[in-house]
Structure 1
Amino acid sequence: MNNSIKKIAILLFCAIPMLFTSCLKDQDDVFDSSSSDRLQQTLMHTKDILTGAENGWVMDYYAGIDMAYGGYAFAVKFDELTCTASSERIPEACTSYYKLTTDNGPVLAFDTYNKVLHDMATPSQNNYEGMNADFEFLVLSATPEKIVLKGKKTQNIMYMYPLSVPAETYIRNVRNMVEELVFSTAKGKIGDLDVEAVFDIDNRHVDFTAPDDAMFSYSLPFTYTSTGIRLHSSLGTGDVAFNSFDYDSEKLQLVAMNNAGQTIAMDCFRPDNWRDYATFEGEYTLYTADSRYNVQLVPTEERDAYLMKGLNSKYDILLNYSKGRGALTISTQFIGEENGIQIQLAMLDPDGSYLSWSPQVGLVVSANTKVEGEYIVESNGYEDFVSGGVILWCFQNGDALDGSDVGSFFQSHRSWLMFGNTYLLDGMKKMVKK
């Protein structure tokens, strides 16, 4: 290489760092501060908004993967270090610490135990995963009018709105609305379009359809408010979209207005066989395909379910109350344990030939509208398995035992036999109140 070429190469080599330095300097000049400073400013701005709401915030809190459990109303008030929370499930206020931190953006974390804010994430005997709920949230946006959060565990989008009344007033009104606003369907018009809504009150979802417009189809979770319900997403788009419905208890209607000034009023209906919780308490004769049993339905302490007693002196069957159906439901459930063997209540098909312990299968006990005091037992409508009865089945270390092992177990542990001298109720038909 001659001297001229060497000199050019040296000059280029020396110039490259200067070029990069110049580029970096130009990039830094775009912002007035470092990224860490900007993030810190965002956290301070978020805290100012959180603590700035005089009455605190209502959080539309969506639980479960894909919001399977629907939305619940929480009221949360923040100061510099702590937050005080209550909810429709636990109205008594509880105070704990919270934290604003970073994880590729601002994060609101309720990082010390709070019986309200951790309620739905806490496992229970019948639900070992809890309700797949969050207590750490990415803050997607924050203004004095609305905060948008994203659950770190479920990825569910949730919303916070400033409260215009004290938290205890709002939560009390929500709880009243939960008790009052109970129906299975609603019908009305949006413009000239007939619209029908089918509600799953228990899981807080609603399906909107229009018989004359196949494109009009919305399946949305919702949250109860102090005046009605609020949908997670809008029904429709733009100015003609509806989001919140107020409940008119005198007309039995859900009423909403959109930004275009359109009003929708939907008449609400309950099924004819709907019954309130208290109706089911009492003594019954339970009829199966070839036997009958004297049983008693005893309310649980929470008054959201019943224990069926009388089949066995030691163990009971749990029947949950479905507010949406106005009926009782029997699902697969843990019964007890003996010498490392776990006993599960599983579902039988109507012929007593197959069983399933899927949590989606089950039975429904609903009023017979033609016979006073009689309640029909039938499958819950799950398409993959038609339930017709129940059976006790044995598990060990998470694995189901085979039929011979199950039979041997019950022969040697006769105290487990819940149904006379057997461990199944084949072909459950009806319950008649005494």
Structure 2
Amino acid sequence: MKNKITKYILLAFTCLGLQACLFQEDDIFEKSSANRAAENVAELQELLVNVPNGWKMEYYPGTDYSMGGITLLCRFDGNNVTLMSEVGSVKTASGKEASSLYKVTSEESTVLTFDSFNEFIHCFSEPIMGMNTNLEGDYEFVYMGQEDNKIILQGRRYHNTMVMTPLTQGVNWKDYIGQLNLIEREAFLKTYSLMVGGQEVGNAVRTSHLFSLTVEGQTSSSVPFIYTPEGIRFKDEITIQGKTVQNFVWNKEDMTFTSSDEETADVVLKAYYPQDYTPYEDYLGTYYMYYREYEKYNEEEDKVEFRPGYMAVELQQKVAGESFVLTSDKLETTAANIVITYDKATGKLIIKPQNVTVMGYPGALVIGFEQGFLPAHYGLDLGNLAVLTNMETGLIGISGGADENLSLSFVEYGNTFFSMMGEVATSLIFTAYGSENFSTNNYLGLVAWYDSIRLQKY
């Protein structure tokens, strides 16, 4: 009996001890998890709203920062957010504003969500033309905390880190975005020599908002960057021959990006023209245009048949240094003039999908191969997406001569068409529609189909 009493007493003390531990836990965590979560939400909401001129968000789409960074300017009022984008969207140019809803919630962590459609951020997460793919951009962000007056966010799906910094009071949003766009236009070349102390130690190739750096023949590394009002900034610091660099200032006269970090002013990215570069003015003039022209559809063999053709065409200036119009009597009577883009980065001509007027009807010029082509709305959407991404579509002229013997053969620009269709693009196709809202319901038919195009200057 005595032993039983002793056991009960020990059991009672054990329970009292456990209870004391529970009270001790409450002392350590003075606030419940729910209260802490609510305070975190309130903290972020207050930070977002209490900035006079809004926030500059360094937005990085693409898995592992594979598209580089763009600037989004954001103004929050507690319910709505107004955005302005450096690159714009498929439908809207940069320098415009778009407003939508947002919210800050507590889930597994504090989350900032752009929860109603805003074209400047959701264009990176929307399915591309109904396909099960997108540009790998987030619109929901986990709040990681504050650091040096900055908000640190992490994309909820693709996990890229985004940094938000207060935009200086008095800075005009449109002017700020315009300065970023100006530097991108001025620094149009894609090929650079990497210089340290006046000596070339490697090279760099720019694609969109990425640099591929090769130092002294070593394996190239991909360095995402973002444009600034002064030049560019690498996402992270990198070391080149013992020098740590991240920020660069642009000089239009020298065509250089020069490091502005401490004791690294001798680290320079100097742009140069590729060897086969053709100046804009050299393209102006008259050409023979050779091609294979659509003749008929052979139902028995289920294929398109072509006949050889040619016409005299002229490349006339549209916008100096930027574009041409390809004109001819035949095009004016059967289809439409073709706008050709001059790619200043490479010195090459590119024919992109475009809206045209075809025999008085709304129409489209799209690309294809010898047995098929993309519908107008697909082709034109791809052309619009190219401004946001590395997606390139159209036909590009590859030179086979120079000066008076200039000869151009047109091949697929990029590999977007090939990746979708499994065939290389070789054709330009004019189609007509009964409405500017291109669809199968108002398709009027094929007007002209030119394959294997070659221009020979004379």
TM-score by length of 2: 0.66
Q: Deviations over 1:369-417 (max 9, x none)?
A: 614564333466879999583599xxxxxxxxxxxxxxxxxxxx99558
Q: Distance in 2 between matches of 1:319 and 1:68?
A: 29
| Alpha-carbon spacing, 1:135–1:322, altered in 2? closer, same or farther (3 Å) | farther
Q: Deviations over 1:283-327 (max 9, x none)?
A: 965435883455899999xxx999999599689999887664344
What does residue 155 of structure 1 align with?
159
Matched residue SS, 2:120: coil
Structure 1 spans left out of the alignment, 5+ residues = 334-343, 349-358, 393-412
Q: Does 1:376 align with 2:384?
A: no
| Alpha-carbon spacing, 1:120–1:379, altered in 2? closer, same or farther (3 Å) | closer
Q: Distance in 2 between matches of 1:106 and 1:65?
A: 22
Which of the residues 105, 111, 115 maps onto 2:115?
111
| Alpha-carbon spacing, 1:414–1:61, altered in 2? closer, same or farther (3 Å) | closer
What does residue 25 of structure 1 align with?
23
Q: Deviations over 1:88-138 (max 9, x none)?
A: 223122333321112322211122333333344445649775533222211
Matched residue SS, 2:45: helix
| Alpha-carbon spacing, 1:266–1:97, altered in 2? closer, same or farther (3 Å) | same
Which of the residues 194, 219, 224 maps onto 1:221?
224
Q: Distance in 2 between matches of 1:218 and 1:122?
A: 29
Matched residue SS, 2:346: coil
Q: Distance in 2 between matches of 1:197 and 1:211?
A: 11
Structure 2 spans left out of the alignment, 5+ residues = 89-93, 293-306, 355-365, 371-390, 430-442
Q: Distance in 2 between matches of 1:156 and 1:221?
A: 12
Correspondence list, 1:187-206, <5 A: 187-190=193-196, 194-200=201-207, 203-206=208-211
What does residue 236 of structure 2 align with?
233
- Deviation of 1:170 (Å): 0.8
Which of the residues 172, 181, 198 maps onto 2:178?
172
Q: Contact 1:49 / 1:143 at 8 angstroms: preserved in 2?
A: no
| Alpha-carbon spacing, 1:270–1:71, altered in 2? closer, same or farther (3 Å) | farther
Matched residue SS, 1:111: coil
Matched residue SS, 1:116: helix
Q: Contact 1:293 / 1:311 at 8 angstroms: preserved in 2?
A: no
Q: Distance in 2 between matches of 1:282 and 1:153?
A: 52
- Deviation of 1:176 (Å): 1.5
Q: Distance in 1 between matches of 2:128 and 2:336?
A: 19
| Alpha-carbon spacing, 1:28–1:330, altered in 2? closer, same or farther (3 Å) | farther
What does residue 397 of structure 2 align with?
365
Counterpart of 1:117 in structure 2: which amino acid?
I
What does residue 454 of structure 2 align with?
430
Q: Contact 1:72 / 1:223 at 8 angstroms: preserved in 2?
A: yes
Matched residue SS, 1:236: strand
Q: Distance in 2 between matches of 1:124 and 1:316?
A: 29
| Alpha-carbon spacing, 1:306–1:136, altered in 2? closer, same or farther (3 Å) | farther
- Deviation of 1:50 (Å): 2.4
- Deviation of 1:169 (Å): 1.9
- Deviation of 1:432 (Å): 4.2
Q: Contact 2:350 / 2:397 at 8 angstroms: preserved in 1?
A: yes
Correspondence list, 1:378-397, <5 A: 378=411, 387=424, 389-390=426-427
What does residue 98 of structure 1 align with?
102
What does residue 55 of structure 1 align with?
53
Counterpart of 1:375 in structure 2: which amino acid?
L
What does residue 435 of structure 2 align with?
none
| Alpha-carbon spacing, 1:115–1:361, altered in 2? closer, same or farther (3 Å) | closer
| Alpha-carbon spacing, 1:7–1:120, altered in 2? closer, same or farther (3 Å) | same
Correspondence list, 1:110-149, <5 A: 110-123=114-127, 125=129, 129-143=133-147, 145-149=149-153
Q: Deviations over 1:18-74 (max 9, x none)?
A: 444333333332233222222222223223332343322222222233444332221
Q: Contact 1:332 / 1:346 at 8 angstroms: preserved in 2?
A: no
- Deviation of 1:254 (Å): 0.4
Q: Distance in 2 between matches of 1:429 and 1:9?
A: 98
Counterpart of 1:389 in structure 2: which amino acid?
T
Equivalent residues, number: 384
| Alpha-carbon spacing, 1:305–1:136, altered in 2? closer, same or farther (3 Å) | farther
Q: Contact 2:245 / 2:264 at 8 angstroms: preserved in 1?
A: no
What does residue 304 of structure 2 align with?
none
Q: Distance in 2 between matches of 1:72 and 1:80?
A: 24
Q: Deviations over 1:341-376 (max 9, x none)?
A: xxx96558xxxxxxxxxx899853245661456433
Q: Distance in 1 between matches of 2:340 and 2:134?
A: 19
Q: Does 1:207 align with 2:244?
A: no
Matched residue SS, 2:175: helix
Matched residue SS, 1:377: strand
Counterpart of 2:154 in structure 1: which amino acid?
K
| Alpha-carbon spacing, 1:368–1:169, altered in 2? closer, same or farther (3 Å) | farther
Q: Distance in 1 between matches of 2:284 and 2:78?
A: 49
TM-score by length of 1: 0.69
| Alpha-carbon spacing, 1:417–1:246, altered in 2? closer, same or farther (3 Å) | same
Which of the residues 308, 323, 335 maps onto 1:291?
308
